[in-house]
Amino acid sequence: MSGFSISRRGLLAGISAVGTSAALGACGAKTGDTTSTGSGAKADTSGDTVKVGLLNSLSGTMAISEVTVHNALLLAVKEINASGGVLGKKLEPVSQDGASDWPTFAEKAETLIKDDKVVATFGCWTSASRKAVKPVFERYKSLLFYPVQYEGLEQSPYIFYTGATTNQQIVPALDYLKKRGLTKLYLVGSDYVFPRTANKIIKAYAKANGMHVVGEDYAPLGSTEFGTIVNKVKDAGADAVFNTLNGDSNVAFFKEYKSAGLTAKSLPVLSVSIAEEEVKSIGTQYLDGQLTAWNYYETTPGAANTKFVAAYQAAYGKGKPTSDPMEAAYISLYLWKAMVEKAGSFDVTKVKAASDGIELDAPEGKVTVDGATQHVYKTARIGKVGSDGLITEVWNSGKPVKPDPYLKGYSWASQLS
């Protein structure tokens, strides 16, 4: 028996030795080094088609929202292919399911870049998923187009942000409330990054603009118990509620809100995460007359939007609503197409260099890419939910607002980052 245990110990030592020496022998770049880091993944542009990655949650809790974005992306791919593709090459969409799980997003991003060798990737919804894939795109120097309004404070060299940053949605919404004299705000949000950061900005804005935040509450994601929050809102003496709740929780919140006898007249709610799709699922009876802040509505006038809505409904069914993130996703492919064609190449560095000043007559109106921030000039629009479930615009910023993800142009925001 003793010989046996010696032999086993020997084996163990062997494994440790092999493992350790292999690990040490394999050591590569130290953290400070810049020379050998990164291995620009080679996108495959040799054939008649190029692959584009679509990275959305097709399962799990976020599938509700992300499937619509995925649909809009597929629609754009189809249209672009029908009109001859990009640089003469047809696009082949490769869908990967992020499954509403952030590490999975990172894994799938890597699959798209390394395995499928896509020329660019479109997708992600939550900030958490974007944060999870950001290092992957940076490591492999590959492009991601992110289509959802978000909390700003980010500027990755390998991400284009086609949704609104805070100064194109939150700040204009505050301007609007201030103009209407609604100065005492109650902040209600889901407990995650976007609402918390948005509320931080709102508080800074309020302090500088003579407004007051009379209360602030967060509900865990998926929460359906809003009795306490509504009680607090009622007692706080606010003029308006600034709502950053995530889609699902809105249903429970607005049901409770109405049960407590609060209405759009007595205490208006301005929501930044409720689009047409959500209005439908919450129920118009609960939302009638409430406010939203976006850059696009299904009702936004213009030939480009008429065409987009018609094409979407032709592809996915009559009565299917279109929304802001869907529109931002849809235009992200067109913006990328324009950049590639201007660069005359799929090469990431050249595409990035060509991005500044790209213009598009989008469903939301004219948009322009700001090369410095890799964000997009967008028009801010405040809408009102009608009894028919559609949102109609009641105010807009007049012209596209220059993206300012770090709010550098606002003196009150100097303490924020």
Per CB under 8 A, which of residues 208..247 are in contact with other proteins?
Answer: 217-225, 227-229, 231-232, 235
Q: Which of 78, 87, 92, 153 binds other proteins (CB under 8 A)?
A: 153
CB of 286 to other proteins, least distance (A): 8
Binding of other proteins by 67 (CB under 8 A): yes
Contact residue for other proteins among 78, 90, 114, 402 (CB under 8 A): 114
Is there binding between residue 387 and other proteins (CB under 8 A)?
A: no
36 Rama class: left (phi>0) / alpha (psi -120 to 50) / beta: alpha
Q: How far is the CB of 354 from other proteins (least distance, A)?
A: 26
DSSP 167-232: GGTHHHHHHHHHHTT--EEEEEEESSHHHHHHHHHHHHHHHHTT-EEEEEEEE-TT----HHHHHH
Q: Which of 90, 139, 212, 366 binds other proteins (CB under 8 A)?
A: 139
Our finding on whether 110 is near other proteins (CB under 8 A) is yes
Question: Cβ 257 to other proteins, closest distance in Å?
Answer: 10
For the record, the structure tokens of 40 come out as: 């620009």
SS3 294: strand
The answer to whether 20 contacts other proteins (rule: CB under 8 A) is yes
- By CB under 8 A, name the one of 49, 59, 81, 183 that touches other proteins: 59
Q: Quick check: 106 binds other proteins (CB under 8 A)?
A: yes
Smallest separation, CB 360 to other proteins (Å):
29
277 binds other proteins (CB under 8 A): yes
| Nearest to other proteins of 65, 169 (CB atom) | 65
Interior/surface letters 288-301, b for 16+ CB within 10 angstroms, e for the rest: bebbbbbbbbbebe
Q: Does 128 bind other proteins (CB under 8 A)?
A: yes
Q: Tell me if 15 contacts other proteins by CB under 8 A.
A: yes
> What distance in Å separates the CA atoms of residue 398 and residue 160, rounded to the nearest whole number?
24
Token pair recorded at residue 44: 């495959």
CA distance 357 to 367: 9
The one segment of 124-132, 203-211, 335-343, 348-356 that binds other proteins by CB under 8 A: 124-132
Residue 131 touching other proteins (CB under 8 A): yes
Q: Which stretch binds other proteins (CB under 8 A): 24-32, 206-214, 322-330, 368-376?
A: 24-32
- The answer to whether 283 contacts other proteins (rule: CB under 8 A) is yes
Q: State which residue, 107 or 341, has the beta carbon closest to other proteins.
A: 107
d(CA 173, CA 355): 28
Q: Both tokens of residue 43? A: 């996108």
Residues 75-104 that bind other proteins (CB under 8 A): 95-97, 99, 101-103
Residues 6+ apart with CB under 8 A from 369: 160, 335, 339, 355, 356, 357, 358, 359, 375, 376, 377
Cβ closer to other proteins: 231 or 306?
231
**Inter-CA distances, 60 with 64, 67, 189, 210, Å:** 8, 11, 21, 42
Q: Which two three-digit tokens encode residue 105?
A: 């997003």
Q: Report which of 324, 328, 61 is spatially closest to residue 190, judged by C-alpha positions.
A: 61
Structural contact between residues 367 and 376, judged by C-beta atoms closer than 8 angstroms = yes
Rounded-to-integer distance, Cα 269 and Cα 187, Å: 10
> Which listed residue (47, 157, 237, 261) binds other proteins by CB under 8 A?
261
Nearer to other proteins, 7 or 209 (CB): 7
In this chain, which stretch among 56-64, 117-125, 354-362, 391-399 interacts with other proteins, using CB under 8 A? 56-64
* Residues 264, 266: Cα–Cα separation, whole Å: 6
Q: How many residues belong to the site for other proteins (CB under 8 A)?
A: 94
Nearer to other proteins by C-beta: 19 or 47? 19
The footprint of other proteins on residues 155-214 (CB under 8 A) is 191-193, 196-197, 200
Amino acid residing at 40: G
